[in-house]
């Protein structure tokens, strides 16, 4: 029986610096991804939070699942800095993760520096145009 096209969740199975961002996506590891991403110890994953303006703990389930390998989570909130909702910040703290919201551009730059220093860093990056 013939199979149709199989769609799988976007995933790059390695830790890679972000080479570029903008135009609604990111470039890393000689590839590009349209949309938001999670940069985790398990690799770079496509990320689609339910509401980018109202992030929830469930949007970070994958981050919390890898909490033993993450000390710092950089959250690129888009063009503008916004606070994380208190319940999300508490859930991350309870898992031993320090969270730092900032603009996506600042999060990309900081992530690349900390990754180069081989730190236990992760990033949740909302794509910007």
- Letter string b/e over residues 77-110, b meaning 16 or more CB atoms within 10 A of that residue's CB: bbeeebebeeebbebbeebebebebbbbeebbbb
pLDDT at position 13, please?
76
Q: Can you give the pLDDT of all 129 residues of the chain as single tens digits? A: 556 554 456 777 789 999 999 999 999 999 999 999 999 999 999 999 999 999 999 999 999 999 999 999 999 999 988 999 999 999 999 999 999 999 999 999 999 999 999 999 999 999 999
Annotation: CATH topology of 11-125 = Hypothetical Protein Mth938; Chain: A, (3.40.1230)
Query: Tokens standing for 63?
Result: 């981050």
pLDDT at position 7, please?
46
The domains of the chain are located at 11-125
């Amino acid at each position: 029986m013939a199979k149709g096209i199989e769609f799988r969740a976007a995933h790059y199975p390695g830790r890679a610096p972000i080479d570029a961002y903008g135009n609604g996506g990111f470039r890393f590891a000689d590839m590009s991804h349209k949309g938001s991403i999670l940069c985790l110890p398990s690799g770079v994953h496509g990320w689609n939070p339910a509401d980018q303006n109202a992030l929830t703990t469930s949007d970070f389930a994958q981050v919390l699942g890898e909490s033993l390998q993450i000390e710092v989570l950089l959250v690129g909130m888009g063009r503008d800095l916004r606070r994380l909702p208190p319940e999300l910040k508490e859930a991350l703290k309870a898992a031993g993760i320090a969270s730092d919201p900032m603009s996506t551009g600042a999060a990309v730059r900081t992530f690349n520096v900390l990754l180069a220093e081989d730190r236990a860093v992760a990033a949740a990056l909302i794509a910007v145009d």
